[in-house]
Amino acid sequence: MKTLIIERDKLVENIQCIKERTSSTVIAVLKGNGYGLGIVDFARLLTENGIDFFAVSELSEAMVLRENGFTNKILLLASTSLPQEAELIVSNNIIATVGSVNSSVTINEAAKKLGVTAEVHLKIDTGFGRFGFLPGQIDNYYSLLKSFDNMKIAGTYSHLSFSFAKKTKLVQNQFDLFIKCAEGLKQNGIDTGILHICNSCAFLKYESMHLDAVRVGSAFLGRIPIENKYGLSRIGVLKSQIIEFKDLPSNSYIGYANTCKTKRNTRIGIVPVGYKDGFGVEKIRDTFRLRDILRYVYNDLKQWKKRMYVRVNGKRARILGRISMYNIIIDLTGIDAEIGDEVLLDINPIFTESSVKREML
């Protein structure tokens, strides 16, 4: 039995904390099933707390929101040139991202066919190399952009590639380039609509870059790849149980690769939670693969040396040895615990298997 507990009070506090940090519109990013919180429940909580502009990565996520009765603004963060998708986007009143000539033609055609005006946000690629017009490219399309009668530009945005790092200069360069592109559009008679570039890290670190809106995802969960000095609580607790006990003599090895050896008689408990459930996934990424250590070198380096603990009956119990696919082994020496007792583990909901039941308490 496993349940992902989402503490509603803490989540609401995080939402308030985020709203208080800015006078710009907060666009709540709900990709990945609402960062694993459950997209519908999370969207409902956000709406109740005054955030009514959403963004998603996939059309299917936007459709889930519409099917559940959400009439809020939804920005689809992926630019698409597929006609079938464009029709669904437009007919469901989803704000399309237009990041290429192809996608703008496709969206405009779909809107014309449906006899409506499609609301879109233009995407500028200021250095991420994914969706968006390159700055040098958009200059050539001013007149084309103005020619689309069934498309209204309600916003213009870009995405930062280094907001989590101490690379302020690179962030500033992308920001400056974005502003330059927006100015170019305006000077050529194109209304850019609202401007936005910040994701969670940039939103927290660079107040001067908030512009008209900020796109916030991970900050709602207080799980950000920068030091959390913003008063955001970590959301996500996995609830499981002790299913087995055993007393091991001293000098016994525990787990794969013999990384742990008991120094005394040790009472161990087994908890049926592992990588499969998303537990410790962030940890392996940082701990065991050199190339990932290098890749995530900007993260809190201290973290991957840290011991990991779970909570049993209000006490901290240390995880012994490596986490495996289905189970963890915990040290219950000196802890009053029985088979079936509840075990609480810190987990990032975005990595938590979708089959694990979510409970918002």
Q: Which is nearer to ligand PLP, 61 or 109 (CB)?
A: 61
Question: Is 289 annotated among the ligand-binding residues?
Answer: no
218 near ligand PLP, judged by CB under 6 A: yes
Does 215 contact ligand PLP by CB under 6 A? yes
- 360 annotated ligand binder: no
Smaller CB distance to ligand PLP: residue 2 or 21?
A: 21
The residue whose two tokens read 């020496």 is 333
Query: Could you tell me which of 148, 138, 238 has the C-alpha nearest to residue 188?
Result: 138
What's the number of CA atoms in the CB half-sphere (13 Å) around residue 113? Answer: 14
Nearer to ligand PLP (CB atom), residue 77 or residue 271: 77
Give the separation between CA 29 and CA 283, rounded to whole angstroms: 24
Nearest distance in Å: CB 218, ligand PLP: 3
Q: How far is the CB of 32 from ligand PLP (least distance, A)?
A: 8
Binding to ligand PLP (CB under 6 A) within 41-70 occurs at 57
Please select the residue that binds ligand PLP; options are 199, 241, 266, 348, rule is CB under 6 A: 199
What is the DSSP-derived secondary structure letter of residue 281?
H
- Residue 217 found at the interface with ligand PLP (CB under 6 A): yes
Nearer to ligand PLP, 113 or 205 (CB): 205
Quote the least distance from Cβ 182 to ligand PLP, whole Å. Answer: 17
Q: What span, in angstroms and rounded, lies between the C-alpha atoms of 28 and 60?
A: 17
- Residue in the structure block whose two tokens are 């099917």: 67
Terminal Cα distance for the chain, rounded:
17
Q: Is 119 helix (H, G, I), strand (E, B) or coil?
A: strand
Q: Which two tokens stand for residue 284?
A: 């392996």
Rule CB under 6 A: say whether 158 interacts with ligand PLP.
no
Q: How many whole angstroms separate alpha carbon 73 and alpha carbon 138?
A: 26
Longest dimension (CA), the chain: 78
- Does the protein bind ligand PLP through residue 216 (CB under 6 A)? yes
> Which residues does the annotation place in the binding site for substrate?
130, 325
Contact residues for ligand PLP, defined by CB under 6 A? 29, 31, 57, 77, 159, 199-201, 215-219
> Which residues does the annotation place in the binding site?
130, 325
